Amino acid sequence: MNNCKELLENTRFPSYLEFSRQIGVSELTLHRLDVGLIDSTSLGELKKIATGLNISLDNLIDFFSRGDSSVQVSGDKLEDTDNEKSYAQGEKDLIFQEFQQSTIAILESLLLQLPTVIKAVENNPSLPASRVIPLLKPLNSLLSEWEVSAIAPVGSIVPYNPQEHQIMNEGEVLEEGENVEIRYVGYRQRDNLLYRAKVSPPSTDF
């Protein structure tokens, strides 16, 4: 039965441990492949392993599913055709996109709550929280790099759009195009809607 050791033999990774640390997959996952448990290995893990070995996902699956031992290793990389290299690059891009989405999910509560806190601080600069605002610049830079932008700033008066806005008060009915006030920021990443902005009718006592 083919195993990961054969694929690592002539690469720059001397052990399962170093390879697993490099690609972010546990050693246990590699050993599970060795005993034929590819069907119980997640697609995300298989993509990481294939990318780390610089082979296509199809080649990796063939190697462990059908015992395809024709995959050759030379120097630091496995030999690929130009098409396979393009496929591997596409897999890397997909993994990076998945990383972005998982990071955004981790930051969800911060993304949704922080703009409202900042607005409160701006209205009352004496609040101790004002000292925190400069610390947020790296986060803003990260969001900008990932092309994540707010639908509209907190406190903005905008026409109600049910595709981008979520009514805060359950049971309240708003007509499309009616003026509403942004209470909690919503976000887009390029053309994709991540979170709808929470809105309510405009008021003077925000």
Q: 133-169, pLDDT tens digit by residue?
A: 776 777 787 788 788 999 999 999 999 999 999 999 8
Query: Which residues, at least 6 apart from 194, have a Cβ–Cβ distance to it below 8 Å?
Result: 104, 148, 186, 187, 188
pLDDT of residue 40: 73
- The answer to whether 148 and 189 have CB atoms below 8 angstroms apart is yes
Q: Where are the domains of the chain?
A: 4-105, 128-200
Output the pTM of the full model: 0.45
Q: What Cα–Cα distance (Å) separates residue 66 from each residue in 58, 91, 177? A: 11, 22, 59
How far apart CA 141 and CA 161 sit, in angstroms, is 28
List phi, psi (to 5°) of 184: -135, 135
Q: What Cα–Cα distance (Å) separates residue 38 from each residue in 22, 67, 178, 198? A: 20, 12, 54, 44
Q: What is the 3-state secondary structure (H, E, C) of 124-136?
A: CCCCHHHHCHHHH
pLDDT of residue 74: 42
Other beta carbons within 10 angstroms of residue 155's beta carbon come to 15
Predicted confidence (pLDDT) at residue 55 exceeds the cutoff of 60: yes
Q: 87-117, pLDDT tens digit by residue?
A: 566 666 777 777 777 777 777 777 777 788 7
Predicted confidence (pLDDT) at residue 72 exceeds the cutoff of 60: no
pLDDT of residue 136: 74
pLDDT of residue 10: 65
| Average pLDDT of the segment spanning 173-178 | 91
Q: 26-40, pLDDT tens digit by residue?
A: 877 887 777 777 777
How far apart CA 138 and CA 143 sit, in angstroms, is 9
- Calculate what percentage of the chain has a pLDDT beyond 90: 20
- The answer to whether 165 and 197 have CB atoms below 8 angstroms apart is yes
Q: 4-29, pLDDT tens digit by residue?
A: 777 777 677 777 778 888 888 887 78
- Residue 201 or residue 205, greater confidence: 201
Predicted confidence (pLDDT) at residue 68 exceeds the cutoff of 70: no
Mean pLDDT, the chain, whole residue set: 78
